[in-house]
Amino acid sequence: MSTSAERGRRRTLVAALLLLAWGGGLALLVRREFFQGSAARLTEAALRLSPGAAYYMVEQHGQRIGFASTTIDTLSQGIEVTDYFVADLPLAGQLHRASARSVVVLSRALALRTFDVQADAAGAPMRVTGRTEGDSAVVYVMDVPGQPADTQRVAVRGPVLVPTLAPLAVALGETPRLHKTYRLPTFDPQQMQSRELALTVRAESVFVVDDSARFDVVARRWTSARTDTVRAWHVVSEAGTGFDGWVDVQGRVVLARQAAGITLRRMAYELAFENWRIARDAATVAGRDAARDILESTAISAGVSLGAATLPRFRVRLRVRLTGVSLAGFDLDGGRQSLVGDTLLVERRPAPSTTFSLTQRAPEFLARFRAELAAEPLLQSTDIGVVQQAIAIAGLERDARRVAEALNRWVHDSLKKEVTFSVPNALQVLRTRRGDCNEHTQLYVALARAVGIPARITTGLAYVRGKFYYHAWPEVWLGEWVPVDPTFGQFPADAAHLRFVIGGLDRQTELLRLIGNLRIQTLDGRR
């Protein structure tokens, strides 16, 4: 049995992946969400696209941590875009090297044709390759060393544009106009439905960009040799989520902000890469540790201590005040949570003692929970391996409540608790038996759906050691939506879980606007 301190430490570590996933790259975006656009508009934008390379210094809270680049090449039959990212991410008191390289081939109208994404974080490599099948589907293969390749086919309607090129399409289609909102229809294979994404031009400004450098032999570092004045527009996706950056008239990013206080600034190659390498080597020689931990830098301090080093798992009531950010659009009110103004009350309710039988579900029930019972691209509830495991866990039990609890216990006991740097994939998690809150949640939801229990993913904040950290956990339908936490072994989850979002990765990006803005004051709590 783990000690309380060990559980608290584990809880802190596993909460980090959600944040890291937000900064994850093209592999996630290519699989999850594709932009469709007017063929004429995209063709016009492509004609204005110039070959070349842009280099970026990667900073976190003003400290240089890495390097990134984007290269565009025109081919005889299309366009090739290569993105590269490398950074030393501070996590849990240690530096973790993370790198990713993606090569995307587009048609002359900027429609996706093929992609090859390779990522490696903390020695955990992953590769995703894929192609489009006409204008009707995208097929991709996820390859993790030591595991069978996972192939998925996602239906689309019409040509698709990778999301990282959406700001480029906005800038190249016409000179961006202030306050204008550009609407791009998108297809989300996680939800198997189309939806519209809005990109709004909020401001226009002028930036001074360093476009060449010289080496200062005294300071032993590169310094600016020549600058260029660049006109750019601030483009932000709806609700403050997703893309948030400044784009020039050629569609190239000048400055972009990401999660965890990470910023990308365009500059000359020597300033972006060579100075980072020099600083990194000097830090290695000096033996310096991470100056600021990603987890700690994004934790939200609670205004009042609840009187314990680690919040007890049996806390049944928690009331907090949420300020500093608009709460519109979040799933804060409903079920065991009630929101009045800026005050949120969360109460831990016992799960119903008896629920429905898994062998006697009415057609109305199946229709009502069609979405919460369906398989999704990375949530393979109909896969034979997932189904067999779910049946084995359930055994002869048919009461949904008892099966849901058995699934929670099995996932908690069977998965090794460790921070991972990959997109949560239920089938892969079942094979590897390891991961953090996202992997636990993804596998639990797949297993629950496999035996006929409606289940969904929720994300928000979890309290530990005087702070709230980002976390994911499932909810299952047992006559009402009941939050459970297989990561921490809680059934149901305690009141220290503040749900902000219901839904998969496509909705979890909405949590980005909380970082650096949300303030939480704990008003009272009860064990």
Q: Which distant-in-sequence residues (6+ apart) come within 8 Å of 149 by Cβ? A: 141, 142, 143
pLDDT given for residue 160 in this prediction: 52
| CB of 95 closer than 8 Å to CB of 279 | no
One-letter amino acid for residue 71 of the chain? T
Give the C-alpha separation, 4 to 434, whole Å.
21
Q: What DSSP letter does each residue of 435-457 carry, written as one string?
A: E-HHHHHHHHHHHHHHTT--EEE
pLDDT for res 260: 66
Residues in a beta bridge with 87: 66, 98
Measured CA to CA, the distance from residue 327 to residue 306 in angstroms comes to 24
What 80-85 contacts at long range (C-beta under 8 Å, 24+ apart), as own/partner pairs, is 80/104, 80/105, 80/106, 81/106, 81/164, 81/165, 83/25, 83/26, 83/164, 85/25, 85/58
pLDDT, residue 265, reads 92
Contacts 24+ apart (CB under 8 A), 240-246: 240/512, 240/513, 241/509, 241/510, 241/512, 241/513, 242/163, 242/197, 242/509, 242/512, 243/163, 243/166, 243/167, 243/199, 245/167, 246/205, 246/207
Instruction: Say if pTM beats, i.e. exceeds, 0.95.
Output: no
Report the candidate in 491, 507, 442, 5 with the shortest Cα–Cα distance to residue 499: 507
So what's the pLDDT on residue 477? 95
How many CB atoms are closer than 10 A to CB 362? 9
CATH ID of 4-14+299-526, from 1.10.530.10, 2.60.120.10, 3.20.20.370, 3.10.620.30: 3.10.620.30
Assigned token pair, 490: 């809680």
Cα–Cα distance measured from residue 346 to residue 331, given in angstroms and rounded to the nearest whole number: 13
Q: Which helix (H) or strand (E) holds 83?
A: strand 79-91
Name the residue with tokens 């939801």.
Answer: 445
Secondary structure string (H, E, C) spanning 378-438 = CECCCCHHHHHHHHHHHCCCCEHHHHHHHHHHHHHHHCEECCCCCCCCHHHHHHHCEECHH
pLDDT at 164: 55
Q: Which residues share a beta bridge with 156?
A: none
Taking alpha carbons only, the member of 30, 64, 299 closest to residue 139 is 30
Tell me the mean pLDDT per 10 residues along the chain, length 527: 40 33 30 38 60 88 86 83 82 70 80 79 73 78 74 66 58 76 56 59 93 87 92 78 78 81 89 85 56 52 41 69 89 94 92 83 91 89 94 93 96 86 81 88 96 95 79 94 93 92 77 78 72
Query: Where along the chain do its domains lie?
Result: 4-14+299-526, 33-286
| The two structure tokens encoding residue 97 | 């090297």
Work out the burial of residue 423: count CB atoms within 10 Å of its CB; fewer than 13 is exposed, 13-18 middle, 19 or more buried.
buried
What tokens were used for 38? 């007017």
